[in-house]
Every structure is written in C-alpha cells, then in structure tokens.
Amino acid sequence: MSTPADAPDWRTLTRDQLDQGLNNGLAVGDPANVFADWELRSAQMRAHHPQSLDLRYGPRERNRIDLLTTGRRGPTLVFIHGGYWQGRAKENFTFCAAGPLAHGIDVALIGYTLAPDVRLGQIVEEIHAGLDHLARELPALGGDPERIMVSGWSAGAHLSAMALGHPHVKAALLISGVYDLEPIRHSYLNAKLDLDDATIRANSPLLQTGGIDKPVAITAGSAELPLLRAQSAGFAAHRARYGLPVIYEESPGDNHFTILEHLASPAGRLTELVRDLAGRM
C-alpha cells in the first residue's frame, strides 16, 4: 500500500503536467467508443429492469435512484457514478449492475446534481439524502435496509468514501477514486468545482484523522495514471495506519475505464469483492 514508484509529487509539477496527470480520457486516447458501449449496455439493462427507475429522493432534477432487484431480498449495492463531480449520469453505468445481480445482490444507482450547479459539499449531502430515502423505501421495494453497501468509480469512489459514515452503510468498494482534493484545486478540474480550504478539509477522506470502522476494499487499475493510483494506495495506507479494515488491490493491466468490466462481469474480481463485503454485513 505504498505510493506507486512512478507517481510524482504533484506539488513539483507544472500546471500542464498536473492537468495531464489527472486527465483520464487523454491518457487512453478518445474514450468516446467506451462511453457509447457503456450507454448501449446500460440501456439494455434498464429495459430488463424497468420496475423501479428514477425514484425521486430530493427536489433537484438529478435527485433520482434506479433500483434493480433480483427479487430475493438480498443485500443492496449502491453505486455512485463518476465524472469528476461535473459529468456523466447514473444512466451511463447501469451495465455495472450485471455482476452483482447475477449473485442475488440488488443494485441501486444514485444520481446527483453536478458542479457548478451545486458545491461539492452539497453533492455529498445529496448522496446522504439518497441513502436516507433508499433505506426508508427498501422494505416496500423488496430489499433489506440493514444490508446496504456503497461503491463508486472515480468521483463516485470519493462520494462513497464520504458516505461510509451513513448509519445504514455497512461496507464500501472504492474503485479508482480521489481521496485528497488538494491536487484537484490546482488543476483544470477546479474551474467548475471552485474548491476552497474548508471544502477540501471537510471532504478529503485522506486528510481526516482516523476514519470509519467498516470494511473497505480499495481498487485501481495498474495501468491508470500514477497520480490517481497514488490516491488509492494513499487512502488504503491511511486506513491501515489507523487500524481500520481495508484491502488494496491493483487490477493487472486495467486502465481507468476497463477496470469497470470486473464489476459488470459475474465472474469479475470486483464482483467477487462485492460478494465478500456482502458476506461481512
């Protein structure tokens, strides 16, 4: 769980180098074909599970949850999408539900308002409000509010880490996330986020003293950008330092996008981690 050997100290980088070091799309070329494939597969998944889509949990347009169930009253994985808090939508990631669903684990995909329409702290509050609503409604929807775990990818992993303290959340799988917001403030990403000291301190899990004593699995692709792999390894080391339950794995050969295939697959390693976490709740 040490910092990857190829990860530079972001403080030594020029603005252009930092921007490139955080730009996942640029790192893989043009990811447009990846996104198109995700959207097609997600649309097919939604068509097969139309019963509980766009459940409203708050007043803003994106305050909606899609719940895909197996009908077995099993645990629920809440998946939070990425997009650096300013892009993408829950509908783009429904394909990720295929792996957990194959093993009797329901999947709820939660939407949230994007920056700059709200500040980052408000996004965190929306996720908590969505979890409150889901926990209240799960019994009527065929789920168990005492068996909820969170997962997210990229910015969604950050939001999942921030949701770990929610009373109904029992565990988390964090995929390719950001846990220290300070480098983000100095990059191109801050144009819409407008991060300040207070926001960074309150919403950077890696900068907190201690943490939440619940099982956490942290993952990243071995072929991801070094700065982002360092974020994941750093947060895992932070939790280990405080004696908090954590495992850290790098998925061999995977980049920021291909790693999600291991959640979309019933036999994928991320699906296996979800099953392991479900067994600990």
Q: Could you tell me if 58 and 129 are in contact, meaning their C-beta atoms sit under 8 angstroms apart?
A: yes
At residue 1 the predicted structure's pLDDT band, cuts being 50, 70 and 90, is: low
Q: How confident is the model at residue 3 (pLDDT cuts 50, 70, 90)?
A: low
CA dist 132 → 8, 9, 70, 158, 202 (Å): 40, 38, 21, 19, 21
pLDDT in tens, 8-29: 899 999 999 999 999 999 888 8
**Token pair belonging to 63:** 């305050």
pLDDT in tens, 78-135: 999 999 999 999 999 999 999 999 999 999 999 999 999 999 999 999 999 999 999 9
- The predicted pLDDT at position 46 comes to 96
- Residue-level pLDDT at 71: 85
pLDDT of residue 2: 59
3-state secondary structure the chain: CCCCCCCCCHHHCCHHHHHHHCCHHHHCCCCHHHHHHHHHHHHHHHHHCCCEEEEECCCCCCCEEEEECCCCCCCEEEEECCCCCCCCCHHHHHHHHHHHHCCCCEEEEECCCCCCCCCHHHHHHHHHHHHHHHHHHHHHHCCCCCCEEEEEECHHHHHHHHCCCCCCEEEEEEECCCCCCHHHHCCCCHHHHCCCHHHHHHCCHHHCCCCCCCCEEEEEECCCCHHHHHHHHHHHHHHHHCCCCEEEEEECCCCCCHHHHHHHCCCCHHHHHHHHHHHCC
pLDDT at 73: 86
Residue 281 pLDDT grade (very low, low, confident, very high; cuts 50, 70, 90): confident
Domains recognised in the chain with CATH numbers: 10-279 (3.40.50.1820)
Q: Is the pLDDT of residue 269 over 70?
A: yes
pLDDT of residue 231: 97
- 0.95 exceeded by pTM: yes
pLDDT in tens, 198-223: 999 999 999 999 999 999 999 999 99
Reported as half-sphere exposure (CB side, CA atoms, 13 A), residue 138 has a value of 25
- C-beta of residue 263 within 8 angstroms of C-beta of residue 233: no
Query: With 60 as the cut, is the pLDDT of residue 276 above it?
Result: yes
In this prediction, residue 156 has a pLDDT band, given cuts at 50, 70 and 90, of very high
- State the pLDDT at residue 8: 85
What's the token pair of residue 243?
């004696």
What is the average pLDDT score of the chain? 96
